[in-house]
Structure 1
Amino acid sequence: MTTSGQAPAGEVPGVPPELRAALDRLAAAPSLLVALDFDGVLAPIVEEPGAARALPASAAALEALTAVDGVAVALVSGRAMESLRQVSGPPAGALLVASHGAEGDGTPTDLDEDHRALLARVVEAVSAVVDAHPGTALELKPAGAVLHTRTAARDTAAAAVRAVGEGPGSWEGVRSLPGKEVVELSVVEADKGSAVTALRERLAHGSGQRPAVLYAGDDTTDEDAFGVLDPSAGDVGVKVGEGATAAGFRVGTPEDVAALLEHLVSALAASPRKPGFPAGRA
């Protein structure tokens, strides 16, 4: 019998039993990559992007994970690197991938003259869309430009998205990445799936063992990452929130993500493991 308001022993509120079992299996892997989107996963979505912060429980769990031998922690975000560092306050040893893989550990952005010229045209075009659609905003990145629509009226936001999609988003050499209240245009080939693959290969090269992967994300851009996971090899994908997904598991909120990370920390502490690489190294 359980006390009113408390979960039965062994249960974790917000984390389905099947996901807990998958996390327990992950904890036994010799090497593990924990890769996470930031906004909507570690941090609740907020109207002002610069005000986003990881939930305290998630931040504490990340600190604990980076201290475990054989575990690498990576933040894989659509934010620009400077913004990601500012809002995430990453623990020492965490790997950072920004701009959907165009910036970050092992993925430096180096634009040639043609890319720089195309980027200038994209920025000019998106800036014109923003000027014509009140409430939208432009964010500049080293290899792209982002239309933000969260604070615009719904009809205005939709019109701005169409204008970007039919305009610079349709140009040759421009990759369009629609997300929640954003459309990112990039002049380099980069996505979260390629980023996760690169991180896994980097860790495998350093340890001689291919790490199992836990990836959690909430946005359409995270589907590329879910798509490169191999559930048959023990990889675990977790969709946060609603929407169609290729992930094998789903939780509802960032609070649920904190709970699943805490469960993983506990499972790692209880599991007899043979670590594949020292924590914080790759």
Structure 2
Amino acid sequence: MSGALPGEVRAALEAFAARGRVLVALDFDGVLAPIVDDPDAARPLPAASAALERLVAGTDVALVSGRDLADLRARAAVPPQVVLVGGHGTQSSRSAAGTTVLSAGEEELLARLGGALDEIAAGRAGVHVERKPMSAVLHTRRAARPDAEAATAAALAGPATWAGVHALRGKEVVELGAVPLGKGGGLLRLREELSAEGAPVRAVLFAGDDVTDEDAFAALSPADGDVTVKVGEGPTAAALRVADPPAVAELLTTLADLRA
């Protein structure tokens, strides 16, 4: 563990825990799991997993990730009560289909995006392309810096500008969607769904580390009791900050204690 939580974080958790029905939502990479060079090797910290096991006994919990839903399920290995929202809000484990259905035009656009990113990655060691049901993703984490920068610039200046493309730039990734992407929308939809099925969700806590988490921070309202937590350094719209995944595990353990 990283030591005592900042006083303002502890105070926010105490107020949040007392609000009745709440939703705890978390990004996966860089939040529950430390960032690693190989995305397939990412796993949640044991302390975070143990805290989630305790939290789900009386609290709604969700993971909201850019990962494909099946990939998120395999890597996170969370309790079955945890709702999984993948593909930057376009997929949900609560949906029978699991994912948004693409039109014929969107399918064609997605295929073109994948091909364009393949061309950008070709000949650049460590640059690779991931296909998701709604998007194509250029990964540059394992590339030499000149290759990573050139590939990123080519993607942003090229296919990211095409009509109908929804672009997200994260840490060492450029994700190009054939449908609108955004964790904020997925998080708000989940809140509405849960509230419609029982007692209303009185507040949401969301923790994320990447620039792709900023729209989720912006979608919530700390003034109304929501809690937004940036993990790590960098500018953010979040109201609070913790240092790293071990600090997130400490935050979740503290919240589990308070909710108990």
**TM-score, normalization: structure 1?**
0.89
CA distance in 1, matches of 2:43, 2:221: 30
- Structure 1: state its 5+ residue gaps: 1-6, 270-282
CA distance in 2, matches of 1:260, 1:134: 38
1:149 aligns with 2:140: yes
CA distance in 2, matches of 1:15, 1:202: 32
Tell me by how many angstroms 1:119 deviates.
0.6
CA distance in 2, matches of 1:14, 1:95: 29
The equivalent of 1:58 in structure 2 is 48
Tell me by how many angstroms 1:101 deviates.
0.8
The equivalent of 1:207 in structure 2 is 198
Alpha-carbon contact 2:21-2:199 (below 8 Å) kept: no
Alpha-carbon contact 1:14-1:252 (below 8 Å) kept: no
**Structure number with larger C-alpha Rg:** 1
Q: Which amino acid aligns with 2:9?
A: L
CA distance in 2, matches of 1:210, 1:87: 27
1:47 aligns with 2:18: no
CA distance in 2, matches of 1:211, 1:177: 30
Q: Which amino acid aligns with 1:72?
A: D
Alpha-carbon contact 2:66-2:88 (below 8 Å) kept: yes
CA distance in 1, matches of 2:16, 2:238: 16
CA distance in 2, matches of 1:62, 1:211: 20
Q: Which amino acid aligns with 2:182?
A: D
From 215, 224, 239, the equivalent of 1:233 is 224
Tell me by how many angstroms 1:254 deviates.
0.3
Q: Which amino acid aligns with 1:44?
A: P
The equivalent of 1:278 in structure 2 is none
1:91 aligns with 2:82: no
CA distance in 1, matches of 2:151, 2:19: 46
Q: Which runs of 4+ in 1 moved over 6 A?
A: none
What secondary structure does 1:258 align onto? helix
Q: Which amino acid aligns with 2:81?
A: G
1:79 aligns with 2:70: no
Alpha-carbon contact 2:63-2:84 (below 8 Å) kept: yes
Number of residue-to-residue matches in the alignment: 257
Tell me by how many angstroms 1:208 deviates.
4.0
Alpha-carbon contact 1:177-1:221 (below 8 Å) kept: yes
Tell me by how many angstroms 1:190 deviates.
2.2
Alpha-carbon contact 1:149-1:157 (below 8 Å) kept: yes
- Structure 2: state its 5+ residue gaps: none
**Counterparts of 1:1-282 in structure 2 under 5 Å?**
13-68=3-58, 71-104=59-92, 105-106=94-95, 108-269=99-260
Alpha-carbon contact 2:168-2:176 (below 8 Å) kept: yes
What secondary structure does 1:185 align onto? strand
Instruction: After superposition, give the CA deviation of every residue in 1:92-144 in whole Å (9 maximum; x if it has no partner).
Output: 21100111011113472200100001111111101111114221011000011
Percent identity reads 50
